Amino acid sequence: MSAVAHLRITLAGAERAVAAGTTYGEALSADGTTVIAARADGELKDLAAEVGDGETVEPVEIGSDDGRAILRHSAAHVMAQAVQDLFPHARLGIGPPVENGFYYDFDVEQPFTPDDLKRIEKRMREIVKQGQAFSRRPVTDGDAREELAAEPYKLELIGLKGGAADAGEGASVEVGAGELTIYDNLDPKTGERRWRDLCRGPHLPTTRVIPAFKLMRTGGAYWRGSEKNPQLQRVYGTAWESREAQDAYLTMLAEAEKRDHRKLGTELDLFSFPAEIGGGLAVWHPKGGRVRRVMEEYSRVRHEEAGYEFVVTPHLTKSSLFETSGHLEWYADGMYPPMEMEGAKYYPKPMNCPFHITIFKARGRSYRELPLRMFELGTVYRFEKSGVLHGLTRARGFTQDDAHIFVTPDQLADELASLLQFVIDLLRDYGLTEFEAELATRPEKFVGDPAEWDEATAALRHALDKSGVPYIVAEGEGAFYAPKIDVHIRDAIGRRWQLSTLQVDFQLPQRFDMEYQAADGTRRRPYMIHRALFGSVERFFAILLEHYAGAMPPWLAPVQVVGIPIADAHVPHLKAVAEQLAARGIRVEVDEGDERMQKKIRNAQKAKVPFMLLAGDDDTAAGAVSFRYRSGEQKNGVPVDEAIEEITDAVARRVQV
């Protein structure tokens, strides 16, 4: 009798011997419901796959980030199967998991209707209940083409498998890594194939493991993201590890809809996007302009205190500037087309950084001037596709609070630590308190000296460690020219927003041949740090508006106080109070309209004004006001001086009420 071959794996930190042919599911004693996949030496695997010798094996739980992605990818397959069951002529595009859900693209004769979505979801539930098995099998290019001959988009992906990263959004879940695989959905009783899809996987063991899902909406999407390609129908869905998790997500979505900054912008008369001007180009109304001015002025004051120099640069430039910077080579698709004048091409600027470099180079620089911190509220223009425009968060014209800091190499680490702390402190002043960060490191394809990359990455890591902000390392996710820190915040309903960026750049100083005179008299090249704090004023405004559900803290509110008289006879008293408040810098109005007092209170509450000062006969006689808050709480007979002090104190301390 021959001995059974054994393999050695590391599991839960301990080395174990297992028989050859052992699956990951067996090695992990996985139930296939809680633990739904494995991670072997960092690579995700199906539970049915066999372990390899020497691997470190870890369980992947369904509620983890990787587990949710696998769950959602599996749900996308179930949805595509349901669509082709109901619409046999539908041709398959791509169906990846995305944040909080999944989608699949289909080529169909008619767009899907709401009733179609109900039918698809019903069919999905039937497939889930059947418990069809997800079964992986490698195939040759030829076999894949033969099997998928009726799927033209899959055939195109097969031809692109070596360049999956460039094949379009979501393509990497289907092809790549040098091997083609197909996943079959198998009948649990007969083993008969019910459906198949080109896919890299991994997947859940069976469809029955999908605990909760819901189809959300449909929309158009160009194949592989190009307007030159056919437009497909995209169906979006969400899937979660439990009904409770899904219900919480759907509740959050309902709350997010109430907080949508586009809706609030209209209701509160803050900004609009006139069709006469063009998509993605906002105009700011007086109330929105007030908030924006306060935001910008406070930021200016804080930057002055931190030693920044203010600069101003034009909105357009000759093409030669962006040729030198490389933007015309790397970023032309995101730029507006040029204007030709006097034999030269002029572009609206998509970035401020090359302009700031010209200021640095306007004269000779000494090491004594470094670090040199330049700051600009610079408006830029980027031609975003109309399908991705989204109010102020994805616009074509916006103002960046852009800073570029020029340092000597030995100043880099301390300057980055100081910059990150400045970013965190200023965001806290706007009422944001939950921070996370990502350190994006050198990708496979990069330019520059690896030693400089290592130095910059170490300096960024030092800044994060010193700040105490929790962070993850996004290996290989840096731009091809520089590593960076991205700072994320969580808003009042738990959504994660990417805000501030710190990026070390060696390439632009080299492309522009930047120099400073060192202490020993030699000419040396500075390092350049890109720092966007808000990202853009518009996007930050939108995030704050949604975070506060339109009820901005008093220091940011467009109208901080409304005086509401019980009768016309009480208007002079409130006007006198308003004059005192205005003298203290408070934005105050007195409602002299014809509505009754209760209607005026409702109007002020609807406008989300922080403070209402009411006055009747007793208040006027006593030199007092009835002090009413946004919450509806009210204090009567408050002396005017006390009311003014309470309001000005809340504004000065930037607290929420």
Binding-site entries? 353, 404, 530
Q: Is 234 within 8 Å of 221 (Cβ atoms)?
A: yes
Q: Is 174 within 8 Å of 161 (Cβ atoms)?
A: no
Helix, strand, coil percentages (3-state) for the chain, rounded to 5, are 40, 30, 35
DSSP assignment string, 275-286? TTT-TT--EE-H
Q: Is 534 within 8 Å of 540 (Cβ atoms)?
A: yes
Sign for the pseudo-dihedral over CA of 562, 565, 571, 577: negative
- Strand partners for 637: none
- Cis previous bond, 202, omega within 30: yes
User: What is the number of other CB atoms lying within 10 angstroms of the CB of residue 624?
Assistant: 21
- Strand partners for 366: 517
Residues 6+ apart with CB under 8 A from 507: 326, 447, 448, 481, 482
Cα separations (Å) of 39 from 11, 65, 205, 404, 517? 11, 13, 15, 41, 52
For 362, counting Cβ atoms within 10 Å of its Cβ (0-12 exposed, 13-18 middle, 19+ buried), the class is exposed
Q: Is 375 helix (H, G, I), strand (E, B) or coil?
A: strand
Scan for tokens 């021959």, then name that residue: 2
Sheet containing 527-532: which strands, arranged edge to edge?
A: 309-310, 372-381, 397-407, 527-532, 496-505, 484-490, 435-440, 471-474
Which residues fall in the annotated binding site for Zn(2+)?
Answer: 353, 404, 530
**Which residues carry out catalysis?**
353, 382, 400, 402, 404, 484, 530
Q: What is the 3-state secondary structure (H, E, C) of 198-230?
A: ECCCCCCCEHHHCCEEEEEEEEEEEHHHCCCCC
